[in-house]
Structure 1
């Protein structure tokens, strides 16, 4: 029977992946319905905390976007990139990594991808090099962001095992960032030089390649205030989480637990942004970040619920088989995360679906943290929004999806960055823990 149930799970994920975007969440709900109504399984747990954290963080980011805050950040990013154009392959991932780290969502990379592509073209650098590692960095940075739903969830399940919130960040931030920068060195040599690429030459001759040049961005009057409010809120979140942690213990038995604190602080930040910048709250509902964030909530709801339904029903069998493998090969947890995330399309959903079961199997906290970056393999199937955006914004033709689907310029940098993150995670994590 479990084979039929697994086919339903994989079938739902496949249908959702083919339909794309929010439909993977829809298909996850369909899979739960089939498992419960037709195959007699009990529904698993809904990742309510994860969804609510995504909603509250996105609410603040969308308010900041309407106030012009994201445009202001893009303006700063463009100035950095244009001042050091020859180092675009190394600066691009720094920009997207930091923006994702601060915002807790990789969708902030959308606004910087056009700048990266244009600066690369202006310097005669193959755009696929900085674009590929920039997209990968924006995805991996989710596993290091102090306000991402994935990090908050992982911290929550590891705290009872003696790993604090700050310890998790102290491992994930340096290891993932260093892995991305080391990968940038490799990415800088991938593909032909632009002037030797026949596809680029063909497009150039046909007038299909254009240079935009630097463009003036109209920075709204409240943009800087909105960014300042958002950054201060992140600092408050990290500080509060530290004060209430068991390791520090300055605030014992807090009336506001960490997850609820993040939600309230972010909603409060959105309120302050609306007051301070005098934006119309109705416009927040039409912000691109709000739409993508709410889509992410549906995706997490569907796929994480589907995964938990199946795993919970077969937990004992999974424990018996997987425990032997993980005892001998702990790095296999990272491999499992890798392949699961390429189908689930969400770092938070992957962590929610698999990590609790792994910890029940007796996986060490160090193994869980080191493997955590592997939930970022959203680049494997070339259907993720930021990946597709990078392809569309590169009119040189260097950032293309091949006929074999998997032969695209994001696969090697992404796989290498995750591999390095896991290796560095085991190394540095053993020092921190």
Structure 2
């Protein structure tokens, strides 16, 4: 039965991926119905992950309406235009730190047009900075102090004696180092822009436009909204650290870490709305709010489907995986990689597999080092930021091949995750 159940899971995910967008979440619901029809009891819906995403996205959307996101993007654009020849290195750093700050990779949407335009103006193949920038925005989730995946993962490691800040430090250092090295390699991928036949044909047909960027950060409270949001992140990190058994400042907290993140982020959204005098009705219409709520539907459907399959076959999975993981710890990274490719979410993958891995006796070093592998959302070229990068590059260099998997995000993604895992093991052995 396990193979029939796995076939249902894969078929549902494939159907959702083919349709694209929020449909992958809808397909998760269909998969749960199909599994229930053959007698599989539905698993747990990851409400904690979903609620954290909703709270963080609410604060980000309020900040966007107040102009804080435009303010942030404007400074990022100034940096890129000040050093255009180094865009292949600076662009992924911009998307990495924006995701690190916001806890969602959807912040990359706002910078992708700038990256494509600056690269084109400099005669640099846009697929180079665009591909690694998308990968950086995905992998930064595993180092963000407010991402749902990091919050849940760190809570699993607390009983193992590994503190919240320790996990963040190792993940931050390993993923940032991997992104920088991958960015250097990406500069040599593909032919030069002036030699690309697709670009030359589009240029001949007049299909390559010179887009003009707009400055939308002139709202009076843009800076204040950004400061309020950053202050909320700092408060979350301080509170989460105080809860850590290693610090022991708060032994019996009234608010758990998850509840604190939700409450602080909702409060930040309220303060931004009040202090910055924005129209609250506009928040639900913000682009980040819509994309964030779509992410919630995807996580709910796909994670529920994954949890249903894993919980129903946990004994078989543990028996099969324990021998491999004991002999080859790096196999956890491989398992997380393929799961993320199918589950389509860092948080959903972490929720579905990490508890089972730790229950098998996987040590914290292996778990932390392998954590970056939950960012394998680039394998199937259907993730929103990936598709946006393809659409925004009118030179045609960021294109998806006929074989589907031969796209410019594959090599940077594989390299960044491999380096992150390797650096994670090295740092883990040095620190823990």
**TM-score range relative to shorter protein:** over 0.9
- 1:217 CA displacement: 3.1
Q: What is residue 313 of structure 1 aligned with on the other side?
A: 312
Q: What is residue 80 of structure 2 aligned with on the other side?
A: 81
Give the alignment of 1:386-425 within 5 angstroms: 386-425=385-424
Q: What is residue 190 of structure 1 aligned with on the other side?
A: 189
Provide the rounded CA distance (Å) in 2 between the counterparts of 1:214 and 1:269: 30
Q: Does 1:114 align with 2:148?
A: no
Provide the rounded CA distance (Å) in 2 between the counterparts of 1:31 and 1:123: 47
Provide the rounded CA distance (Å) in 1 between the counterparts of 2:255 and 2:430: 31
Q: What is residue 427 of structure 1 aligned with on the other side?
A: 426
Give the alignment of 1:117-266 within 5 angstroms: 117-213=116-212, 215-266=214-265
Q: SS in structure 2 opposite 1:249?
A: coil
- 1:215 CA displacement: 3.7
- 1:214 CA displacement: 5.0
In 1, are the aligned partners of 2:67 and 2:216 still within 8 Å (CA)?
no
**1:158-198 deviations in Å (ceiling 9; x for gaps):** 11111111111010001101100000011000011111112
After TM superposition, the score normalised by the length of structure 2 is 0.98
Provide the rounded CA distance (Å) in 2 between the counterparts of 1:380 and 1:313: 27
In 2, are the aligned partners of 1:17 and 1:343 still within 8 Å (CA)?
no
- 1:218 CA displacement: 4.4
Structure 1: any 5+ residue segments left out of the alignment? Answer: none
RMSD across aligned positions (CA): 1.0
Q: Does 1:19 align with 2:28?
A: no
Q: Does 1:60 align with 2:59?
A: yes
Structure 2: any 5+ residue segments left out of the alignment? Answer: none
- 1:14 CA displacement: 1.3
Q: What is residue 41 of structure 1 aligned with on the other side?
A: 40
Q: What is residue 9 of structure 1 aligned with on the other side?
A: 9
Provide the rounded CA distance (Å) in 2 between the counterparts of 1:154 and 1:133: 25
Provide the rounded CA distance (Å) in 2 between the counterparts of 1:200 and 1:12: 37
After TM superposition, the score normalised by the length of structure 1 is 0.98
**1:246-290 deviations in Å (ceiling 9; x for gaps):** 010112111111110000000000000001111111111111111
- 1:428 CA displacement: 0.6
- 1:211 CA displacement: 2.0
Q: What is residue 338 of structure 2 aligned with on the other side?
A: 339
Provide the rounded CA distance (Å) in 2 between the counterparts of 1:402 and 1:12: 24
Q: SS in structure 2 opposite 1:400?
A: coil
Q: What is residue 355 of structure 2 aligned with on the other side?
A: 356
Provide the rounded CA distance (Å) in 1 between the counterparts of 2:386 and 2:252: 44
In 2, are the aligned partners of 1:89 and 1:129 still within 8 Å (CA)?
yes
In 2, are the aligned partners of 1:347 and 1:376 still within 8 Å (CA)?
yes
In 2, are the aligned partners of 1:25 and 1:303 still within 8 Å (CA)?
yes
Provide the rounded CA distance (Å) in 2 between the counterparts of 1:256 and 1:200: 55
- 1:213 CA displacement: 4.7
Q: 286-295 or 211-220: which moved more?
A: 211-220
Provide the rounded CA distance (Å) in 2 between the counterparts of 1:122 and 1:429: 42
In 2, are the aligned partners of 1:338 and 1:374 still within 8 Å (CA)?
yes
How many pairs are equivalent? 432
- 1:210 CA displacement: 2.1
In 1, are the aligned partners of 2:68 and 2:217 still within 8 Å (CA)?
no
In 2, are the aligned partners of 1:106 and 1:138 still within 8 Å (CA)?
yes
Give the alignment of 1:363-378 within 5 angstroms: 363-378=362-377
Give the alignment of 1:270-349 within 5 angstroms: 270-349=269-348
**1:116-173 deviations in Å (ceiling 9; x for gaps):** 0111111111100000000000000000000000000101111111111111101000
